[in-house]
Structure 1
Amino acid sequence: MLSIATWNINSVRLRIDQVLRVLSEQAPDVLCLQEIKCQEHQFPAQALADLGYVHQAVHGQKGYHGVATVSRLPFREISRHDWQDNGEARHVGVEIEGSGLVVENVYIPAGGDVPDREANPKFGQKLDFLERMARWADSLDRPTLLVGDFNVAPLECDVYDHKALLKVVSHTPVEVEALGRLGDAHGWVDLGRRFIPAPERNYSWWSYRSYWRQKDQGRRLDHMWASPDLARQATGHRFVEETRRWDSPSDHVPLVTEFDL
């Protein structure tokens, strides 16, 4: 049995105690973090190693973005793609030794506030990022798990109000179509919806403002996608919503999937 978790932590140094709590309570073998917001030498490596997560691949940068994968199982880092072609730290890939499993940890750009490529270059960068990922995925030929903050809620039931959010970045048709092309490129299986079928509620992100008001205005922005053969070995999937109610939480919650490997 192998357990893998993913979580946009929104500053790993600020929330290291919460990371350690999730690791203690959920006990995944591998944890993929996004938006660590630190350089590699600033990453709280020792605190994680003390809990048994001694294998670490950290792709960081100063103050923004950044991803890290930590594991109790040996792995080797195999890639750091720059699908935005601007030097931002948004991806790290590892191969779990002895399993042949590749875990790709990605933080797809949010895309700014205006869903228009001409008026908002960040939106265009997001779409380009997804298109480059689709070309990459088209050539994959190994059991792969793609996880992270995709910053797209693809299904109508993945947001609290489909009609209200059609023109809001993260749920616009052009983003959903771009994510769909990425999904089709490798035949990825969306584990979140395999185990929690639509239209069941399955949010992973709430803005700080709306959650504070106790309104369930969530979106499913975080995902775990598996190669078809790997997906058949998945035995369970859950989202750990209680973290969103902890003191000074991340605006995202962890996802965890178990595999019979």
Structure 2
Amino acid sequence: MMTYNIKNGGLDGTDPSRLDRILEVVAEQRPDVLALQELRGLRRNHRRLDSVARRLGMRPYLAGGWFGQPVAVLVRPPGRVDLARPVPRPFHHGAQRVVLETDRGPLTVLSTHLDPYSGRRRLREAGWLVAGARRAGPDRRPLPERLVLLMGDLNSLDPWSRHDERIARLRPEYRGRHLLPDGTTVDTRTIAALDRAGFLDLFRRPGLAVRDTVPTSQGGGAEFSGMRLDYLLATPPLARLAGPCRVVTGGTAESASDHYPLVADFDLSFR
């Protein structure tokens, strides 16, 4: 499983080869399931999305953004998708959910990109994600008993780390995005709420180092200061099946986007 914010759909008037580099990064990892964010222009240009999916050998399931940019989940054959439907709420960007048949039972995957500007809106969107995961597919067991993976650019800092230095390094106009209304306290409510709902941060397991996901060394990102904003969050049954997790750095990943992609392996297969 892989998640990747590809920055404005890979479109760049000064660097037309960037989409090719994005696809190179993805092809090197060869994920079975891929969550993409910031798919600018792809909601109206289906041929371009189909071309991207075809080059990767995957099938795309797109969810349009309400105010921002679409997101998508791409699935590699022979994965069988039983449900593919956006979470029906006014997300700033969007949220797509698919339910896949695996040898371990139904797997719900959500790709999302939460509001970049407001912690209060991110917290509301997190609640919509939890509700959308609970309503996905025929499985009506409590969410913490099901196989669910939430991945994407959550634009949120985690409640388990110290963030004072990275907030101080931000330019003043961007600090408010990660502070409570008092202007001082770091806003970690979104990740804390998802944790309470039953999602486990796969990078908090023993032996795994928490790495920054933005910015890349050559991809820009003035609104970042060395931060982890991208996540792989799994319910406990799926977390028990998780193997190695990694942030993909180096080589082409340094210039393809302003975000590094995240990858995790799981002990399951398509049915």
TM superposition score normalised by structure 1: 0.77
CA-based RMSD: 3.3
Paired position in structure 2 for 1:21: 24
Which of 121, 129, 133 aligns to 2:129? It is 133
Q: Helix, strand or coil for the counterpart of 1:25?
A: helix
**Structure-2 separation of matches of 1:144 and 1:201:** 21
Cα pair distance change 1:29/1:207, threshold 3 Å: closer
Q: Which runs of 5+ in 2 are unaligned?
A: 12-17, 135-141
Cα pair distance change 1:181/1:201, threshold 3 Å: closer
Q: In the TM superposition, what are the counterparts of 1:1-261 in structure 2 within 5 Å?
A: 4-14=1-11, 15-42=18-45, 43-53=48-58, 55-61=59-65, 64-73=68-77, 74=79, 75-83=81-89, 85=90, 88-99=92-103, 100-111=106-117, 122-134=118-130, 140=143, 142-155=146-159, 157=161, 159=163, 161-162=165-166, 164=168, 168-170=176-178, 173=185, 175-186=187-198, 188-194=199-205, 197=208, 200-206=209-215, 217-242=225-250, 243-246=252-255, 249-261=256-268
**Structure-1 separation of matches of 2:95 and 2:52:** 22
**Structure number with higher relative contact order (C-alpha < 8 Å, ≥ 6 residues apart):** 2
Which residue identity lines up with residue 256 of structure 1 in the other structure? V
Cα pair distance change 1:102/1:95, threshold 3 Å: same
**Structure-1 separation of matches of 2:210 and 2:64:** 33
Which residue identity lines up with residue 260 of structure 1 in the other structure? D
CA contact (8 A) 2:159 2:189 kept: no
Paired position in structure 1 for 2:139: none
CA contact (8 A) 1:11 1:36 kept: yes
**Structure-2 separation of matches of 1:234 and 1:201:** 16
| Percent of pairs with identical residues | 28
How many residues were matched structurally? 238
**Structure-2 separation of matches of 1:157 and 1:209:** 26
Q: Which runs of 5+ in 1 are unaligned?
A: 112-121
TM superposition score normalised by structure 2: 0.74
